[in-house]
A and B are shown apart, each in its own frame.
Chain A
Amino acid sequence: MKLANWFRRKKLETGLERELRYHLDRRISDLERSGLPTGEARRTAMLEFGGFTQIQEEVRDIWLARWLRDFLYDVRFSARSFLRNPSFTITAVLSLMLGIGATTAIYSLVDQVLLHALPVHQPERLVLIDWKGDQVANGFGSWNLMSYPICRDLDQQKQVFDGVFCRALTTINLSSGGDYRAATAEIVSGNYFSVLGVGPALGQVLTSDDDAKPNTNAVAVISYDFWKTQLGGASDVVGRKVLVNHHPLTVIGVAAATFRGIDVGEVPSLWIPASMSTAIIPGLKDLHDRRTRWMQVLGRLPQGMTLRKAQAGLQPWFKAMLKEDMRRAGFPVITPERLQTYLNSSLVLTAAPQGHSGLRRRLLEPLWVLFALTVVLLGLACLNVSGLFLARGSARDREVGTRLALGASRGRLGRQLLADSLLIGLAGGVLGTAAAPLAVQALIAFLPRDNAGTALRASIDSRLLLFALAASVTAGILSGLAPAWQSGRRSLVSSLRERGGTALGGVRLRKAIVTAQVALTLTLLAGATLFIRTLDALMEKGPGFVTSGLVSFGIDCQRSGYSEEQGNQVIRRIDEAIRHSAIVQSSAVARFALLTGGSWNNPMTILAGKRFSTEGRDINLNAVTPGFFQTMGIRIIAGRNFDERDISAPGESGWRSAIVNEAFVKRYLGGRNPLGVRICQGSGPDARPNVEIVGVMSDISYRGLRERSEQAYFPLGGEGAATFYVRVRGKPESSFQSLREIVRGIDPTLPLNNLRTVDQQVDRSLNTEHMLASLTGSFSALALLLSLVGLYGVMSFVVTQRTREIGIRLALGATRGTAIWLVLRDALVMLLIGIGIGVPFVLALGRLVESQLYDVKPSDPAVIAIAVLLLFSAGLGAALIPAHRASSVNPTEALRFE
């Protein structure tokens, strides 16, 4: 009745309004009749009555208070009945705990990585500005790169932006007095903090003045975390000097505590004005070069400006700038087609309230996939609890029937059910949320420690709590839906008349629930099979070289204050020392590390009979010492390895020779002898193909295990930075100390970056695949468990209910086999229908995850067959137990029981 009040609230409200109105109108007309003027009468009546809305409020409070009191009473009643039935309660609460815990844990990552807006002033007005087309510039860095001068130009477009800043992440060699270590820094334009609206926690932040003249303002702002953890939160930190790549910078302030940069996966230790970047970043020659794109550009839109309007407002200026830029000195000679692409370029704005992040880009799809799967898991858990409620409901059928007969309203019973399910939902939610931080911790462990490990947190904040609460309430209500529907259909007479328990409808509903569980479980199982096959195939394929016993680390001399030439000498000395070490089998040096996700790449021009370029498609490039192929176990298929013939004479620029991989030959030189063909970097008319192909190597993975790319290798020249690949004797990890000592013997301040085994590097490059495979694997195991429990439960119930019937059949001469078949048939029907519903789901959902897969199609019959077979056999196994019980029914006892 009172529950009904709640849902019929609107009707109640209008009733109350009418009632009070009636009173007032009557009073006014009575007063008028007694001689008061109209206005006076109205005033008097209102005065006598008291506040109209106040009265309405009071009455509403009475409705609500009553409803709440009754509801609390119901909750107490539910709690008591749960405590009386602990096995039911534990199973139900555990089911929901698993579902809610998993969903909340994944949501925590979804929220942190994908959804959370930056803690800056009005983040919703931030946009990322990106160049669509061709910038005719060399890029270094990750994505959405533009040049520093373009950022300055954009900042002048005051009609469109409240401000535009640029930033680039860089790894630096940082010392704050003690040892040297690699750290992340953000190179930023001077207005970075003011456009974001971030202030200092101590001292001051960077301003445009700090960025005005090149290499004059040797200052930095440090992050709050760096200040607290590395500098002990010293109060006199402002004015201290830190060494960045061996350049002293003065700390002018500490950024606000909540601010951790604009990239969720890369938390910078400090911010450096862009004006200092040519001094600090090796290889960056001219900050104002428009042909070097290396920074992300973000802007703040004014209040009321839309993305579309801003984008349109930029185009006139942008088109003029393109033309002007073309006439500038240093604009390269390019083909007419490329020039056309350049002139057709446009600027694209996208909303960037969460900043810019490579981690988000990588995890976007995997995280949504996992979130969707946990929601399915939670749905399964709800179905499980529904089934349990129905089972308990049929046990309590007579109690409910009696209550109905004694005059309890159906609404009242419905509210009791609501209290039941909410209580279970909340209990599951509380436990699930308590377990969530552990789960998040485990999730974060899947990601590379150096970025995600420091940036992501396994703590519970208010947003997460809100999510968990919403999930618990929804789960509770969903779990209660089927029982509520069932109780609504129950007829009073039949439930009182029945002796054995429930009406047949209860069993039918429970069977429907188990069928739905089977379908959902199949989806999860198939998903897990796909991801496990993917990981398996990638591991099986491997990177194309022998990883065991291989150790790698990077050395960057220029970040330690060496000139390029000095750096090359240092690297040669280290290479020498390592090769003479007793623990080393062989070793080699490469300019760029493999399997890190990045590469040196460029289009190339090829002279093979005719001249053509790989325009639009970059070749992955590297430079290596002659020992590289042998150390890595890469086969030279044709031609020869590098030797002294390939070393450029002093003063000679460029390379003499190159070794390309099979994929290169296949794509560009199909059928022709690759040896002797001449190639070079670049695709413009001015490119001179004068590097001779002297060898062909087998294909290896460069950026990651998935790719198959065209590659070209040159003899190592130098640039003062390199990655060492060392094949060691014995356990690779035990060589770390010796390797460190070798480097320390040459220069004690030179840090070894990313010292790890190549096997570890392979694992790191497969971290999303690992995460997807293990999580979907465990989710589907849980799902399978939940639906087996459901199947077992309903089959046992059926057997109990049909004991008499089975007894009679056995007494009339049916065999034990018939009895088993009687039960198994039911289970088979549920399994088959569930699988029948599930397979189209698998096919439809599989398409959504296709880009995450490798060497397996979502519609692969083998995958679906494995999932179906697993589910089917496990399901039959679960049904066999009650079936066996049915077959061992003793006819005499079953009949006597009646």
Chain B
Amino acid sequence: MTSRFPIPQGTLDMLILQIVSLEPIHGYGIAQRLEQISRSVVQVNQGSLYPALHRLEQKGWLKAEWKQSETGREAKFYSLTACGRTQLVAEKESWARLAGAVRLIFNEGTRS
């Protein structure tokens, strides 16, 4: 755990919104998805997921409800609110812009 690469907060929020946007999903599911997607690149401390989820819920981007999970036990399922959906679009856009800008600068650097 010592070589953990900390994921920037904004990025984690965006990733969570993205995962939740696909289908209502509980915390453990989100952690597993994150694990699968980013295993080789970043490691997410599984516990730190929950403060992020609650913050997003407070902001009104996520809503939650207790439902039966695939194991039969009740779990808290998160889904995106209308607000959250707008936010995800905006974040994706600004991320794309940022990434584009960074790429542009890097390309410029190699050219000169």
| Interface positions of A (Cβ within 8 A of B) | 2, 15-16, 18-20, 22-23, 25-27, 47-52, 54-55, 58-59, 61-63, 66
| Interface positions of B (Cβ within 8 A of A) | 1, 26-28, 31, 45-48, 50-51, 54-55, 58, 66, 69, 71, 73-76
Across-interface contacts of A48 in B (CB, < 8 A)? 1, 45-46
Can you sample 9 A-B contacts with CB below 8 Å? A19-B76, A22-B27, A22-B76, A23-B31, A25-B73, A49-B47, A58-B50, A59-B51, A63-B54
With both beta carbons as reference points, the residue of chain B lying nearest to A45 in the complex is identified as B46
With both beta carbons as reference points, the residue of chain B lying nearest to A67 in the complex is identified as B58
A598 CA / B66 CA spacing, docked (Å): 78
Across-interface contacts of B73 in A (CB, < 8 A)? 22, 25
Across-interface contacts of B69 in A (CB, < 8 A)? 22
Q: Which 6 A-B pairs have the closest CB atoms?
A: A50-B47, A58-B51, A55-B47, A49-B47, A23-B28, A26-B28
Across-interface contacts of A50 in B (CB, < 8 A)? 45-48
Min C-beta distance of B10 to chain A, whole Å: 16
- The reply to whether B54 and A62 form a contact with Cβ atoms under 8 Å apart is yes
Min C-beta distance of A11 to chain B, whole Å: 12
Across-interface contacts of A2 in B (CB, < 8 A)? 58
- The reply to whether B46 and A27 form a contact with Cβ atoms under 8 Å apart is yes
Across-interface contacts of B58 in A (CB, < 8 A)? 2, 62-63, 66
- The reply to whether A27 and B47 form a contact with Cβ atoms under 8 Å apart is no
- The reply to whether B26 and A20 form a contact with Cβ atoms under 8 Å apart is no
Min C-beta distance of A415 to chain B, whole Å: 15
Min C-beta distance of B8 to chain A, whole Å: 17
With both beta carbons as reference points, the residue of chain B lying nearest to A57 in the complex is identified as B51
- The reply to whether B47 and A54 form a contact with Cβ atoms under 8 Å apart is yes
With both beta carbons as reference points, the residue of chain A lying nearest to B47 in the complex is identified as A50
A701 CA / B76 CA spacing, docked (Å): 83
A55 CA / B47 CA spacing, docked (Å): 6
Given A59-B54, A63-B54, A22-B26 contact (CB < 8 Å): yes
- The reply to whether A19 and B46 form a contact with Cβ atoms under 8 Å apart is no
Across-interface contacts of B26 in A (CB, < 8 A)? 19, 22
- The reply to whether A23 and B46 form a contact with Cβ atoms under 8 Å apart is yes
Which of the residues A19, A25, A63, A66 comes within 8 Å of B50, measured between beta carbons? A19
A25 CA / B74 CA spacing, docked (Å): 12
With both beta carbons as reference points, the residue of chain A lying nearest to B75 in the complex is identified as A22
Given A22-B75, A27-B46, A55-B48, A47-B28 contact (CB < 8 Å): no
A26 CA / B48 CA spacing, docked (Å): 17
A375 CA / B29 CA spacing, docked (Å): 58
A22 CA / B26 CA spacing, docked (Å): 10
Across-interface contacts of B66 in A (CB, < 8 A)? 15
Beyond A22-B73, A51-B47, A63-B54, 12 additional contacts (C-beta under 8 Å) are: A18-B74, A19-B75, A23-B31, A26-B28, A48-B1, A49-B46, A50-B45, A55-B47, A55-B51, A59-B54, A61-B51, A62-B51
A20 CA / B51 CA spacing, docked (Å): 11
- The reply to whether B28 and A22 form a contact with Cβ atoms under 8 Å apart is yes
A52 CA / B45 CA spacing, docked (Å): 12
Which of the residues B28, B51, B55, B75 comes within 8 Å of A27, measured between beta carbons? B28
A399 CA / B72 CA spacing, docked (Å): 49
Min C-beta distance of A296 to chain B, whole Å: 62
Across-interface contacts of A18 in B (CB, < 8 A)? 74, 76
A52 CA / B27 CA spacing, docked (Å): 15
Min C-beta distance of A388 to chain B, whole Å: 34
- The reply to whether B1 and A20 form a contact with Cβ atoms under 8 Å apart is no
Across-interface contacts of A47 in B (CB, < 8 A)? 1
A146 CA / B45 CA spacing, docked (Å): 75
Chain A CB count within 10 A is highest, among B54, B66, B71, B76, for B54
Given A22-B27, A62-B58, A63-B58, A55-B76 contact (CB < 8 Å): no
A48 CA / B45 CA spacing, docked (Å): 6
- The reply to whether A15 and B54 form a contact with Cβ atoms under 8 Å apart is no
A117 CA / B69 CA spacing, docked (Å): 61
A59 CA / B58 CA spacing, docked (Å): 11
- The reply to whether B27 and A19 form a contact with Cβ atoms under 8 Å apart is yes
Across-interface contacts of B54 in A (CB, < 8 A)? 16, 59, 62-63
A16 CA / B76 CA spacing, docked (Å): 9
Across-interface contacts of B31 in A (CB, < 8 A)? 23
A51 CA / B45 CA spacing, docked (Å): 10
With both beta carbons as reference points, the residue of chain B lying nearest to A25 in the complex is identified as B73
Which of the residues B28, B45, B55, B74 comes within 8 Å of A62, measured between beta carbons? B55
Min C-beta distance of B47 to chain A, whole Å: 4
A19 CA / B76 CA spacing, docked (Å): 6
A52 CA / B31 CA spacing, docked (Å): 16
Min C-beta distance of A51 to chain B, whole Å: 7
Min C-beta distance of A436 to chain B, whole Å: 41
With both beta carbons as reference points, the residue of chain A lying nearest to B1 in the complex is identified as A47
Min C-beta distance of B83 to chain A, whole Å: 13
Given A22-B75, A47-B1, A50-B45, A55-B28 contact (CB < 8 Å): no
A872 CA / B31 CA spacing, docked (Å): 74
Across-interface contacts of B75 in A (CB, < 8 A)? 19, 22
- The reply to whether A52 and B76 form a contact with Cβ atoms under 8 Å apart is no
A876 CA / B71 CA spacing, docked (Å): 75
Across-interface contacts of B48 in A (CB, < 8 A)? 50, 55, 58
A27 CA / B48 CA spacing, docked (Å): 15
- The reply to whether B76 and A15 form a contact with Cβ atoms under 8 Å apart is yes
Given A22-B28, A27-B28, A59-B50 contact (CB < 8 Å): yes
Min C-beta distance of A688 to chain B, whole Å: 94
Across-interface contacts of B74 in A (CB, < 8 A)? 18, 22
With both beta carbons as reference points, the residue of chain A lying nearest to B35 in the complex is identified as A48
A20 CA / B66 CA spacing, docked (Å): 13
Min C-beta distance of A407 to chain B, whole Å: 12
Across-interface contacts of A61 in B (CB, < 8 A)? 51
Min C-beta distance of A221 to chain B, whole Å: 61
A361 CA / B78 CA spacing, docked (Å): 67
Across-interface contacts of A23 in B (CB, < 8 A)? 27-28, 31, 46, 50
With both beta carbons as reference points, the residue of chain B lying nearest to A20 in the complex is identified as B50
Across-interface contacts of A49 in B (CB, < 8 A)? 45-47
Min C-beta distance of B61 to chain A, whole Å: 13
- The reply to whether A52 and B50 form a contact with Cβ atoms under 8 Å apart is no
Chain A CB count within 10 A is highest, among B26, B50, B71, B74, for B50
Min C-beta distance of B7 to chain A, whole Å: 14
Across-interface contacts of B28 in A (CB, < 8 A)? 22-23, 26-27
Across-interface contacts of A62 in B (CB, < 8 A)? 51, 54-55, 58
A19 CA / B73 CA spacing, docked (Å): 11
Given A19-B76, A22-B26, A55-B50 contact (CB < 8 Å): yes
A18 CA / B45 CA spacing, docked (Å): 19
Across-interface contacts of B1 in A (CB, < 8 A)? 47-48
A19 CA / B51 CA spacing, docked (Å): 12
A727 CA / B1 CA spacing, docked (Å): 99
Min C-beta distance of B76 to chain A, whole Å: 5
A51 CA / B48 CA spacing, docked (Å): 10
Across-interface contacts of A15 in B (CB, < 8 A)? 66, 76
Min C-beta distance of A28 to chain B, whole Å: 11
A52 CA / B50 CA spacing, docked (Å): 11
A63 CA / B1 CA spacing, docked (Å): 28
A16 CA / B28 CA spacing, docked (Å): 13
With both beta carbons as reference points, the residue of chain A lying nearest to B45 in the complex is identified as A50
Min C-beta distance of B55 to chain A, whole Å: 5
With both beta carbons as reference points, the residue of chain B lying nearest to A47 in the complex is identified as B1
Across-interface contacts of A27 in B (CB, < 8 A)? 28, 46
Across-interface contacts of B47 in A (CB, < 8 A)? 20, 49-52, 54-55
A66 CA / B51 CA spacing, docked (Å): 13
Min C-beta distance of B22 to chain A, whole Å: 19
A16 CA / B55 CA spacing, docked (Å): 13
Across-interface contacts of A16 in B (CB, < 8 A)? 50, 54
With both beta carbons as reference points, the residue of chain A lying nearest to B27 in the complex is identified as A23
Min C-beta distance of B102 to chain A, whole Å: 30
Chain A CB count within 10 A is highest, among B46, B47, B66, B75, for B47
Across-interface contacts of A52 in B (CB, < 8 A)? 47
A58 CA / B53 CA spacing, docked (Å): 11
Across-interface contacts of B55 in A (CB, < 8 A)? 62
With both beta carbons as reference points, the residue of chain B lying nearest to A54 in the complex is identified as B47
